[in-house]
């Protein structure tokens, strides 16, 4: 039996389809390459613009430094010259006084010499004149001369350059400022979280000696650190390289930057280039349609407002996604009843208990229930001021690894979701149950009033 050959029309269509697919692929690749080219242009512009800005900053700084140094040197010169003036003015008067006495003595001696010479020239034998000349006070005081200080006793002004800071100053100037190609730390990754962003940073080089980091964020798009009025706020200071920045607006841009230092006494390094990110995931919210609970703080906090029977309050929708973290913070506590607790659920149909298939939760007295079965491991009792945290991770086999932490103790188990979801469809009234992949409700159940729980 002979095979029928494809028609020319069919072959033409196949060839055309192949060309169309290649063109579509080429267009997509062109779009991607153009995007890469834009990113490359932005990177090149960052290098050149930051280079120009740095040159301007260096010129301005060193001109200012030069003016301040010249002013400081002129002031020091004037101060030292004034000290020379003071030493001169205090040292010369005693010598000037001594000079006056010596000149007076010279005047008297000259007069005696003149009188004596006249007596000798006249061969005078006038006894009275000779006697008066010999007995005059000036003749008797010829052996009296004023004492003058030796050179070692008077000032000899000089400049003492011992301990001069000239070499140190020149050394400091030679080391003033540094030109840095990249900040020692950079924002490595920003991951969306409900109403939050998980920010990770890393050191640029392996030899960076950093023991403490600072993460700052600001509302809006800030591309440069040159804006000194940018409203940056500290989000974290410490030794870790990851921080969950909470209470952020959805679909609103935020700018993040990081810095580091080697020890608490050293200065902070320059800031990393700001990274802009936003979260598209709405923050966790309790349902506001349950009359047994009142909500506040944009539905992030719920309070049991009536007593009598246990009532389950669920999240507004499937807000929890596997792979994330959720923390229940107990802001206030009422009387406890068996079954009171918080946890995760596949559906929101049961309004009275979480001790059932399709739910994993921990009670106030530390019991952990998975699909209605109690685990052997118990967690500590929790109440007002406590925090209960659930972390999950999807396993390759479809199970979800759940870690529940209360205070410093935690328990980990693998939740067999494929099995329990099949069970719920086959043997319960949840035939119409259709859960988005890796999505859960979070929930709390309390019987008595005054229990107040916030979620984040």
The CATH homologous superfamily to which domain 185-277 belongs is Immunoglobulins (2.60.40.10)
Checking if the pLDDT of 427 tops 80, the result is: no
The highest-confidence range among 1-10, 113-122, 124-133, 198-207, by mean pLDDT, is 198-207
Where along the chain do its domains lie? 34-147, 185-277, 293-455
274 close to 256: Cβ distance less than 8 angstroms: yes
d(CA 189, CA 182): 17
State the DSSP code for 226: T
365 close to 350: Cβ distance less than 8 angstroms: no
> Which pairing describes strands 400-406 and 387-394: parallel, antiparallel, or unpaired?
antiparallel
Phi-psi region of 372 (alpha: psi -120 to 50; beta: other; left: phi over 0): left
Q: What is the mean pLDDT of residues 33-54?
A: 88
Q: Which CATH architecture has domain 293-455?
A: Sandwich (2.60)
Instruction: Decide whether 185-277 matches 293-455 in CATH topology.
Output: no
The chain-wide mean pLDDT, for the chain, equals 86
Q: Return the structure tokens found at 189.
A: 């990754």
Checking if the pLDDT of 428 tops 60, the result is: no
d(CA 244, CA 194): 11
Q: What is the reported pTM?
A: 0.65
State the DSSP code for 446: E
Q: Return the structure tokens found at 373.
A: 């079965």
**Predicted pLDDT at 47:** 86
Using one digit for the tens of pLDDT, what is the confidence trace for 76-134?
Answer: 999 999 999 999 999 899 888 888 888 887 888 787 788 777 777 776 566 667 777 66
d(CA 451, CA 220): 37
Using one digit for the tens of pLDDT, what is the confidence trace for 357-407?
Answer: 889 999 999 999 999 999 999 999 999 999 999 999 998 888 999 999 998
């Amino acid at each position: 039996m002979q095979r029928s050959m494809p028609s020319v029309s069919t072959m033409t269509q196949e060839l055309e389809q192949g060309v169309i697919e290649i063109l579509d692929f080429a267009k997509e690749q062109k779009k991607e390459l153009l995007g890469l080219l834009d990113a490359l242009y932005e990177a090149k512009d960052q290098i050149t613009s930051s280079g120009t800005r740095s040159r301007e900053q260096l010129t301005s700084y060193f001109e200012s430094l030069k003016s301040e140094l010249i002013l400081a040197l002129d002031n020091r010169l004037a101060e030292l010259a004034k000290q020379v003036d003071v030493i001169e003015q205090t040292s010369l008067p005693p010598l000037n006084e001594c000079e006056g006495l010596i000149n007076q003595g010279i005047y008297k001696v000259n007069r005696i010499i003149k009188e004596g010479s006249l007596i000798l020239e006249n061969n005078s034998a006038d006894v009275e004149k000779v006697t008066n000349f010999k007995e005059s006070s000036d003749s008797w005081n010829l052996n009296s001369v004023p004492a003058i200080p030796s050179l070692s006793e008077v000032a000899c002004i000089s400049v003492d350059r011992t301990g001069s800071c000239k070499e140190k100053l020149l050394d400091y100037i030679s080391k003033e400022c540094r030109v840095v190609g990249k900040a020692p730390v950079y924002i490595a990754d920003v991951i969306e979280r409900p109403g939050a962003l998980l920010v990770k940073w890393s050191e640029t080089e392996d030899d960076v000696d950093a023991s403490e980091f600072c993460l700052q964020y600001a509302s809006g798009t800030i591309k440069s650190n040159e804006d000194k009025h940018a409203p940056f706020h500290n989000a974290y200071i410490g030794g870790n390289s990851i921080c969950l920045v909470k209470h952020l607006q959805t679909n609103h841009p935020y700018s993040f930057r990081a810095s580091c230092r080697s020890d608490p006494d050293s200065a902070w390094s320059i800031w990393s280039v700001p990274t802009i990110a936003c979260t598209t995931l709405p923050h966790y919210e309790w349902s506001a349609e349950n009359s047994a609970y009142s909500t506040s703080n944009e539905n992030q906090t719920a309070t049991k407002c009536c007593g009598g029977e246990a009532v389950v309050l669920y999240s507004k929708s499937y807000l929890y996604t596997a792979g994330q973290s959720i923390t229940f913070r107990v802001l206030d506590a009422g009387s406890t009843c068996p079954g009171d607790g918080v946890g995760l659920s596949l559906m929101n149909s049961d309004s009275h208990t979480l001790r059932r298939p399709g739910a994993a939760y921990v009670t106030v007295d530390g019991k952990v229930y998975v699909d209605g079965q109690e685990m052997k491991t118990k967690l500590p009792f929790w109440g007002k001021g406590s925090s209960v945290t659930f972390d999950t991770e999807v396993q390759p086999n479809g199970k979800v690894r759940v870690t529940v932490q209360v205070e410093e103790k935690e328990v980990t188990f693998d939740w067999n979701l494929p099995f329990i979801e099949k069970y719920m469809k086959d043997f319960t009234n949840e035939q119409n149950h259709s859960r988005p992949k890796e999505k859960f409700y979070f929930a709390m159940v309390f019987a008595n009033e005054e229990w107040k729980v916030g979620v984040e």
